[in-house]
Amino acid sequence: MRTSRAGPSRPARRTAVLAPCVALLIAAGALPAGATPTMALEDPPAVPAATASADPTPAPSALKPIDPAALQAAVDRAAKKLMVPGAVVLLRTPQGTFRATVGTTQRGTAEPPGTGVHFRIASNTKTMTAALIALLAQDGKLRLSDPVSAYVPGVPGGGKITIAELLKMRSGLYNYTNAPELAAALDADPAKAYTPQDVLAMAFRRPPNFAPGASYEYSNTNYVLLGLVAEKAGGRPLARQFQDRLFTPLGLKGTSLPGIHDLSLPEPYAHGYLYGGTSYAMVDKPYPAAMREAARAGKLAPLDYTHQNPSYANAAGAAVSTADDLATWIEALVTGKVLDPAAQQQWLRSPQAEDPKAPDGRKYGYGIAYQRLAPNAAMYYHGGELPGFNSFMGHDPDNDVTLVIWTNLTLSPDGRMTAQALLPTVLNQIYTGLALPTV
């Protein structure tokens, strides 16, 4: 649920539990450059910007022939350096479907992970919340220009914050996952249940960071509010709407939004780990040198966060899924199998440059990040991070590439978001002309 991370040593963190993968892979391990923290709610990782080939003639294909053995070996090497207990890479291209798996679903066992294993997807949940909002707008039950105050009372300045600004992380509202009292409370009582009102109160006690629409800042507060908007406009609980409008129509049998008191994951599932307290996943707080050294030497074991109650993440990052389901989901969302043609075009056009001084850099739209990888390749994507898990999902519609990565260690001992740190390694195996720095 980090805020936003970017950068090789410690990518800009997204709002922990619920952030998209920041700049896809701007640098090895810097995926989430500018990515809003994920912890279930983080910034999408930054896709590493690749250097175009010196040859001005466009290559006949942006894709390399996929070598399964080379892909597996590359993932093995990177995962070992990151010290992740387990990792899964699922890749779909016109050449077929490829899988690379590493390690175990639970430390101390030999249970290999797979693409059907359940894990907490953190901020990837935001893509689902945004899609539901778009469907409700498509139905005429709300307008994206409506103020949030028309659906949720008590929002500071809510009469001037539109639903579209919430979707695009431009409300200015304080990100509640940055509140130190939340991490402290989660550590003191991991099973405690949180309502949306509980976490919003943490945000509303702080002043907004900027006027609505004036800037971009990844904030999980926006998406918890959107969950309440969806319940008001749709007239039913968020989990039921997700199931009826998204999961069932697409056959996502392994995907769910747990109830507020549900600490379990469906079988089979992966355990999730993090070195140190919850705050390391929630905000961009670097590991102390002594902790890094102890972890690298094997003298410090990561803590098991598998059954920490994810209710605090809510519509911003509480969902559970599998790699298989996420691949189906992101491809369906990008290729128009969720929204009608008019709403789909609005969704595709929604990404807006996070930094107005870098119009060609990473963009964030209606619950989705977008970045060009090379002249003939671009990807719509998101990431997720929360205590225990880190993940990435993306679809390149021009080349029909779908990619999902998840790990069951939030941060490596040196503080890198692990799935996002694996991203450059995998992209180098997929695209011609890429030579991204890897772990």
Greater model confidence, 360 or 206: 206
- If one counts the domains in the chain, the total is 1
Residue 386 lies in a domain: yes
At residue 16, does pLDDT exceed 90?
no
Residue 332 contacts by C-beta under 8 Å, 6 or more apart in sequence? 250, 338
The secondary element (H helix, E strand) that includes residue 349 is: helix 341-349
CA angle at residue 325 from 116 to 73, to 5 degrees?
55
The tens digit of pLDDT for each residue in 148-160 reads 999 999 999 999 9
User: Which has more pLDDT, 13 or 74?
Assistant: 74
436 lies in some domain: no
Please indicate, yes or no, if residue 49 is contained in any of the structural domains: yes
Residue-wise pLDDT for 291-346, tens only, equals 999 999 999 999 999 999 999 999 999 999 999 999 999 999 999 999 999 999 99
In the predicted structure, residue 431 carries a pLDDT above the cut 50? yes
Report d(CA 393, CA 45) in Å as an integer.
Answer: 10
Please give the residue that has the higher pLDDT: either 77 or 54. Answer: 77
Q: Which two tokens stand for residue 102?
A: 């590493």
Q: Which of 55-59, 86-90, 299-303 has the lowest mean pLDDT?
A: 55-59
Q: Tell me: pLDDT of 24 over 80.
A: no
- Can you say how many angstroms the Cα of residue 325 is from the centroid of all Cα atoms in its chain? 15
220/216 Cα distance (integer angstroms): 13
pLDDT score, position 7: 27
Rounded CA separation 404/382 (Å) = 10
Q: How far apart are CA 99 and CA 130, in angstroms?
A: 29
Q: Please report, for the domain that includes residue 12, its CATH number.
A: 3.40.710.10
d(CA 341, CA 304): 44
d(C-alpha 195, C-alpha 191), whole Å? 13
Could you tell me which residue, 143 or 59, shows the higher pLDDT? 143
* In-domain check, residue 438: no
Full DSSP string of 139-205 = TTS--TTSBGGGTSTT-TTGGG-BHHHHHTT-S----GGG-HHHHHHHHH-TT----HHHHHHHHHT
Residue of 382, 408, 410, 427 whose CA lies nearest to 102: 408
Domain presence at residue 418: yes
Q: Length of the chain in residues, anyone?
A: 439
* Alpha-carbon distances of 392 from 88, 109, 211, 212, 372, rounded to whole Å: 11, 25, 30, 29, 16
**Pairing of β 369-374 and β 377-386:** antiparallel
pLDDT at 91: 98
In a domain, 130, yes or no: yes
Q: What is the pLDDT of residue 42?
A: 55
402-413 as b/e: b if 16+ CB within 10 A: bbbbbbbbbbbb
In a domain, 259, yes or no: yes
> From CA 327, how far away is CA 404, in angstroms rounded?
6
Query: Structure tokens of 39?
Result: 């912890």
Whole-prediction pTM:
0.91
For residue 296, is it within any domain?
yes
Owning domain of residue 23:
2-430
Best CA proximity match to 130, nearest among 392, 404, 338: 338
> What is the token pair recorded at 92?
């779909």
The mean predicted confidence, pLDDT, of the chain is: 89
Q: Give the largest CA-CA distance in the chain.
A: 59
